[in-house]
Structure 1
Amino acid sequence: MLLKLRRFFKKHPLMKDMISFGGMYVGAEWTQQTMLKRMSNVDQDPKYDKQAFAHYSFYGFLWYPVIYHYWYRWLDARFVGTSAAVIGKKLLLDQFVMEPPLLASFYVGMSVMEGQEDIFKECKQKYITTFLVSTVHSYSL
């Protein structure tokens, strides 16, 4: 069974990306909701926000893995090697070319799916901080 799965994913790397990224994305949302439920002092057990799971499923299973799959394929074909210079170029391009529009698409897209009146409000409020944290995290690895 595992061998068949391994062969399938080797033959279909995009499917592997979609399943693994989606699983992590939805898993992170489930973990956050679970922790918030446990930390709240509400006697009644609040329900999981299934609509949030659907929103994160869209980004985790469909949006990000497809974009990243083809982005990294292009990046690896264009910048071949493992030297510090090549890795540095890839890191800079990833962080400063790909990350900004994807981050904006996340905030705006989530606002659209949530039916927010001002779909740019959350992006304006959180974009810079999220981008800076992402940049610090990327360069600290």
Structure 2
Amino acid sequence: MFGRLWSQYNVALEKNPLLIKALTSLTGFTIGDVLAQKFVTPDEEKGYDLMRTVRLGSFGFLVHGPTGHFFYGWLDKQIPGTAMKTVATKVAIDQLLWNPCFGVMFFSYLGLAEGKSFTDIQAKIKNDLPTAVVGSWTVWIPAHFINFRFVPSNQRLLYINSIQIGYNIFLSFLGNKKVDDSEELKAAAK
């Protein structure tokens, strides 16, 4: 049965790579948030926040999947191969350039989806982007060494989304953490 599903997935990926990668990101971000809400940071007072899961899942579908499709496709074309120097270069580009861009997209999307002001979003980015970037290094540097060395280019986003489920628990927590005080908002507005 798994073999048949894997085969069907690969056929669909070949026919509609952008859509399938967006759907795998939707799945990864949705599962990550469900796990975060149910097991990591359950809110006993408010209960399960379905709209939070919708926001995270839609980010996966609308932003993570499509941008990942194009970014990793571009990266593989610009720097082909799996030699260690090539892999190290790709990991460095991913973590030093793409990672902060991704974090800004993530916090901006969530803020806009929640109806927050640009000042609130700016404060969120200022407050939490460094934590997100550094936190990413612990997961994604080793994961991307495997990714760029052993995973075929067309399977990269599936591999990333498999790991992303666990990482999304962290992102879900961080993305939904409140900015501490109005002082942060005032500082960001300056």
TM-score range, shorter chain: 0.7 to 0.9
Structure 2 unaligned segments of length 5 or more: list them: 144-190
Displacement after TM superposition at 1:5 (Å): 4.5
Please name the residue that 1:13 is paired with: 17
CA shift, 1:119, in A, is 1.8
- Cα deviation code 1:26-78 (max 9, x no counterpart): 111111111244x84x6xxx542121122112211110110010111111111
**Contact 1:22–1:60 under 8 Å retained in 2:** yes
Q: What's 2:141 paired with?
A: 139
In structure 2, the residue matched to 1:110 is 110
TM-score by length of 1: 0.84
The aligned runs of 1:85-100 (5 Å cut-off) are: 85-100=85-100
Q: Do 1:25 and 1:60's aligned partners in 2 also have CA atoms closer than 8 Å?
A: yes
CA offsets 1:52-111 (integer angstroms, 9 cap, x no match): 122112211110110010111111111111101111111111111211111012112212
Distance 1:136 1:30 in 2: 22
Aligned letter for 2:87? I
**1:121: how far off?**
1.6
CA distance in 2, matches of 1:4, 1:108: 35
Q: In terms of mean alpha carbon deviation, does 2-11 or 59-68 score higher?
A: 2-11
Larger relative contact order, structure 1 or 2 (CA cutoff 8 Å, min sep 6): 2
Q: Following TM superposition, by how much is the alpha carbon of 1:4 offset from its aligned partner in structure 2, in angstroms?
A: 4.4
Identity of aligned residues (%): 21
Equivalent residue of 2:80, what SS? coil
- Is contact 1:17–1:65 with CA below 8 Å preserved after alignment? yes
**1:120 partner SS:** helix
Is 1:26 the equivalent of 2:69? no
Give the root-mean-square deviation of aligned CA atoms.
2.1
Return the alpha-carbon distance in structure 2 between the equivalents of residues 6 and 105 of structure 1.
28
Matched, 1:73 2:77: no
Amino acid at match of 2:65: P
2:131 and 2:80 mapped to 1: Cα distance?
A: 32
Gaps of 5+ in 1: none
TM-fit CA distance, 1:128 = 0.6
Q: How many residues align?
A: 136
- Structure 1 distance, partners of 2:137, 2:59, is 20
Q: Tell me how far 1:138 sits from its aligned partner.
A: 2.5
In the superposition, the TM-score normalised over structure 2's length comes to 0.64
* Residue type at the aligned position of 2:114: E
